[in-house]
Amino acid sequence: MKCVLSIAGSDSGGGAGIQADIKTITGLGAHALTVITALTAQNSLGVSAIHPVPPGFIARQIKAVVEDRTPDSVKVGMVYTAAAVKAVSRMIAAYRLSPVVVDPVLRASTGATLLEPAAIRVLKEHLLPLATVVTPNLAEAELLTGKRVRTLREMERAAIEIFQMGPRVVIKGGHLKEESSDVFFDGKEVAVFPGKKIVSDSTHGTGCVFSSALATFLALGKSLKEAVHSAHDLVRRAILGGYNFGHGRGVVAPCAAGGVEGSMQRMRKRNK
């Protein structure tokens, strides 16, 4: 069975973070390995507290996992502190882990900061050069480039600029006003994966599901462009299958996105 390592924060509300990654990876038929970078106290209404895991212990978690089984791909989500970003980058380089999908989680959908301001420069200088692909949304692309990113044309320009930092780039367009299209740049061509706007209050976890699905599709052998397309489609189905569980924003449902049964069938065929 393929193994995907998620390096991310814990969401006590179960909608995003490491919890969303585990659901997505498992639903697609792979085994989820996990490294916790931070604990959050949050629910559907927002994040009330963040407890960062010491960088040394983050490194110990990665060491323990990798020395037992080298993952077939890696997803990096919320890391929170500059020291933690450096620790994760150092371990990825030391163990030559690849492919690496970086979801530069800067803020929660409710507005809470999930990456310290001082860590943005460190992420750009230390982690992005090691990444196979980075998956910012519009606001994250603006922070990475320092420029406005609100339209498809601006997304294309930002993708080309972020590519100069090292990785291939997918800019997620879920926050576009009239559509929900993603822009992919691999260093040679820009590809747009179009999508109609889905009106839903159950969107918590979309970025985590996209990046962990992308990492899983890469682990399962898809090309990067194919993996981006598959992750784009899966997230749209996950939004359509989303649900409310509390008094605030609802969550997406990656396990309701049509991946589980097909993945189980593939697993049964491989195990025969």
Higher pLDDT, 262 or 102: 102
What's residue 111's pLDDT?
Answer: 65
Residue with tokens 């990492």: 215
Give me the domain span that covers residue 242: 3-271
- Among residues 9, 23, 172, 174, the one annotated as catalytic is 172
User: Catalytic site residue 40?
Assistant: no
Residue 223 has pLDDT above 70, yes or no: yes
CATH classification of the domain holding 249: 3.40.1190.20
Q: Contact, 260 vs 253, CB < 8 A?
A: no
Residue 262 has pLDDT above 80, yes or no: no
User: Catalytic site residue 132?
Assistant: no
pLDDT in tens, 26-53: 999 999 999 999 999 999 999 999 999 9
What's residue 174's pLDDT?
Answer: 81
Q: Contact, 46 vs 58, CB < 8 A?
A: no
- Among residues 207, 242, 250, 259, the one annotated as catalytic is 207
Backbone φ and ψ for 113, nearest 5 degrees, come out as -75, 125
- Predicted confidence band of residue 146 (pLDDT cuts 50, 70, 90): very high
- Among residues 9, 208, 216, 250, the one annotated as catalytic is 208
User: Catalytic site residue 26?
Assistant: no
Name the CA radius of gyration of the chain, rounded: 17
Q: What is the pTM of this model?
A: 0.92
Please, which residues have CB within 8 angstroms of residue 53's CB and are 6 or more apart in sequence? Answer: 36, 37, 38, 39, 84
Longest dimension (CA), the chain: 52
Most confident of 1-5, 103-107, 252-256: 1-5
Pairing of strands 182-185, 133-134: unpaired
pLDDT in tens, 234-255: 999 999 999 999 999 899 999 8
- Predicted confidence band of residue 256 (pLDDT cuts 50, 70, 90): confident
What is the token pair recorded at 30? 């792979």
The Cα 208–Cα 54 span in angstroms is 22
User: Catalytic site residue 70?
Assistant: no
**Residue ranges of E strands in 108-157:** 133-134
What's residue 255's pLDDT?
Answer: 87
- Predicted confidence band of residue 272 (pLDDT cuts 50, 70, 90): very low
CA distances to 25, 30, 183, 209, 262 from 34, in Å: 11, 13, 28, 15, 24
User: Which SS3 state, helix, strand or coil, does residue 103 take?
Assistant: coil
Residue 270 has pLDDT above 90, yes or no: no
User: Catalytic site residue 207?
Assistant: yes
Residue 259 has pLDDT above 60, yes or no: no
pLDDT in tens, 159-203: 999 999 999 999 999 878 888 899 999 999 999 999 998 889 898
- Among residues 13, 27, 205, 250, the one annotated as catalytic is 205
What's residue 113's pLDDT?
Answer: 80
Q: How many residues does the chain have?
A: 272
Please, which residues have CB within 8 angstroms of residue 51's CB and are 6 or more apart in sequence? Answer: 38, 39, 40, 41
Q: How many alpha carbons fall within 13 Å on the CB side of residue 258?
A: 10
Domain count along the chain: 1
Q: How many alpha carbons fall within 13 Å on the CB side of residue 115?
A: 23
What is the residue-wise DSSP string for 225-236?
HHHHHHHHHHHH
- Among residues 195, 203, 242, 250, the one annotated as catalytic is 203
User: Catalytic site residue 242?
Assistant: no
Pairing of strands 31-43, 3-11: parallel
